[in-house]
Chain A
């Protein structure tokens, strides 16, 4: 079992729709959860982080965390073609020392 699992996609949604990206993790001691966006040929950039159970909203993005189910998701409302990228889920193991584990990423394609 991978430590952080994501559906590789591609996930294809029409412009204006909601894109839903999911991630599960195996380490129950994990404390910090991140979503990075990576455009083709570019480096990952942080778009959201969440530490507590529940929802966290930032503009068109909402991160959702359920520690009991070891599940974290990212919703993108009003998807735009510019959102087309690979989204990496990342989990910090919380054991001290900032060792973050990345998932393999989900490719999102937003059709105009």
Chain B
């Protein structure tokens, strides 16, 4: 399996611009998570989906952030407008509840390093 795929790997943008991060989970996984990691705040859960439905978005910092999962193989995290304090590494992760899977184990993508100037 290819693992969790994220794009782009690096994004540099200017304050006020819209940023869209993309994620393809591992095939067959029914949970998808979006995290943000910074030195100051560590790894923060932003939102997670189960079977394409958002379950908990309490970690989304503000209305500038939105996430969608239109199908089982694709999710986006959008920031509009972006601000310098959004600079971080954004990880997507997926997990499975299928029989035989290690419950609650999350598999992380390589991350997108976002820099907002």
5 additional A-B residue pairs with CB within 8 Å, beyond A44-B43, A46-B102, A97-B56: A42-B110, A46-B105, A97-B48, A99-B45, A105-B42
Q: Are A98 and B43 within 8 A (Cβ)?
A: no
Q: How far is the CA of A103 from the CA of B91 in the complex (A)?
A: 16
For A43, the closest partner residue in chain B by CB is B108
- Distance in Å: Cβ of B58 to nearest Cβ of chain A: 9
Q: Is the CB of B111 within 8 A of A92?
A: no
B91/A43 in contact, CB under 8 A? yes
**Chain A interface residue number, banded:** 10 to 19
CA distance A57 to B42 in the complex (A): 27
CB distance from B35 to the nearest CB of A (A): 8
The 0/1 profile, CB within 8 Å of B marked 1, for residues 80-112 of chain A is 000000001000100001111111110000000
Q: Which of B45, B105, B107, B108 contacts A34 (CB 8 A)?
A: B105
Residues of B contacting A49 with CB < 8 Å? 102, 104-105
